[in-house]
């Protein structure tokens, strides 16, 4: 898994930072993309990346402020114009369906793919499928705003070929059955249990992506033991009163969330346009004084989601 930042600024577009949007690459066989927020000109930002709209499967909207949703109608239309026919699901606060439907109807935009919109009104499990569990909680912002916790289920362990060879098991289709943990009857009549030839499962990764928020205990819960936490840092530490007034966080407050949650990596985004490129080092220094493994995103920056050796607990 990895994440690409398409817009890392707060409120309005700036020369160096567009408004909010980021893409989570699941890096599976289908190269699936999940998009989080879709500020103005997100589709323009995508043109500078390898991201393909037809690979986009889900869009998560944290809240309904314009810098997080104004790019959505255009992106939905372009996905259709480019020939995508696979379903797209959008999760967002109450009102997101009305915004999308009105925009598409007024502009006469017809989508050639199925669009599903699921509105969120409170803390809940969004879905639990074969590969991922996604939960959401309401944060502390001027409008209803949600954070998202993405838990990848454990991946199957590898087939232990050294044990297969020691047991004189022939190659061929039987190996695929063993890899699935099935019991197999060999040509010589022996019965073997595939589970005995599979290594330990690979622990899934946890990514927490937070919307705009003041310092929040719910953010800490969402981020518990996460491989990567993405947290807004609209203001520097000396603007903590301003951050509170406008329902945002400082660099240090974001770092406190990462520290208290036991997260491994923190990436800061949603940076106010008052801070220029030369200010980034100071912002980073403030956060790292609390949580060392902190980075600040820039538009088009990509971060791998690192492996973490957490105490083993299956989430399969």
E strand or H helix at 22 = strand 21-25
| Rg, Å, the chain Cα set | 22
What's the mean pLDDT when you consider all of the chain?
94
- pLDDT of residue 316 exceeding 60: no
Do 187 and 54 belong to one domain? no
Q: Answer yes or no: do 170 and 210 share one domain.
A: no
Q: Tell me what the mean pLDDT of segment 168-183 comes to.
A: 87
Range of the domain at 176: 161-197
* CA dist., res. 226 & res. 175, Å (int): 34
Lowest mean pLDDT among 162-166, 243-247, 300-304, 308-312: 308-312
Catalytic residue among 37, 67, 212, 299: 67
The region of weakest confidence among 83-97, 191-205, 252-266 is: 191-205
pLDDT at residue 313, rounded to an integer: 52
Predicted confidence (pLDDT) per residue in 198-254, tens digit: 888 889 999 999 999 999 999 999 999 999 999 999 999 999 999 999 999 999 999
Answer whether residue 312 is part of any domain. no
Average pLDDT over residues 125-142: 97
Considering the domain architecture, whether residues 85 and 170 belong to the same structural domain is answered as no
299 counts as catalytic: no
Give residue 5's pLDDT: 98
Domain of 148, CATH number, reads: 3.60.15.10
Q: Last residue of a domain, which of 172, 197, 222? A: 197
Q: In this model, does residue 60 exceed pLDDT 60?
A: yes
93 contacts 119 by C-beta, under 8 angstroms: yes
pTM here is 0.90
pLDDT the model gives residue 311 = 62
Region 108-130: mean pLDDT is 97
pLDDT recorded at residue 117: 98
């Amino acid at each position: 898994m990895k994440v690409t930042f398409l817009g890392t600024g707060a409120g309005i577009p700036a020369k160096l930072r567009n408004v909010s949007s980021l893409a989570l690459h699941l890096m599976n066989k289908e190269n699936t993309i999940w998009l989080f927020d879709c500020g103005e000109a997100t589709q323009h930002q995508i043109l500078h990346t390898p991201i393909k709209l037809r690979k986009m499967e889900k869009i998560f909207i944290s809240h309904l402020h314009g810098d997080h949703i104004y790019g959505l109608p255009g992106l939905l239309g372009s996905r259709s114009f480019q020939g995508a026919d696979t379903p797209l699901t959008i999760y967002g606060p109450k009102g997101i369906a009305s915004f999308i439907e009105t925009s598409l109807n007024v502009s006469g935009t017809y989508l050639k793919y199925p669009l599903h919109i699921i509105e969120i009104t409170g803390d809940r499990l969004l879905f639990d499928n074969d590969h991922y569990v996604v939960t959401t909680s309401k944060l502390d912002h001027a409008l209803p705003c949600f954070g998202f916790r993405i838990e990848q289920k454990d991946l199957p362990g590898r087939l232990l070929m050294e044990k297969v060879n020691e047991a004189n098991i022939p190659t061929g289709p039987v190996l695929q059955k063993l890899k699935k943990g099935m019991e197999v009857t060999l040509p010589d009549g022996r019965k073997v249990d595939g589970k005995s030839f599979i290594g330990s499962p690979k622990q899934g990764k946890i990514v927490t992506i937070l919307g705009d928020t003041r310092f929040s205990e719910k953010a800490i819960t969402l981020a518990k033991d996460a491989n990567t936490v993405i947290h807004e840092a609209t203001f520097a530490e000396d603007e903590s009163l301003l951050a509170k007034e406008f329902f945002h966080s400082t660099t240090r407050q974001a770092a406190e969330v990462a520290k208290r949650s036991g997260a491994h990596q923190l990436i800061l985004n949603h940076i106010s346009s008052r801070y220029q490129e030369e200010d980034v080092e100071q912002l980073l220094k403030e956060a790292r004084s609390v949580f060392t493994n902190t980075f600040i995103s820039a538009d088009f920056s990509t971060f791998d989601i690192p492996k973490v050796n957490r105490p083993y607990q299956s989430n399969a």
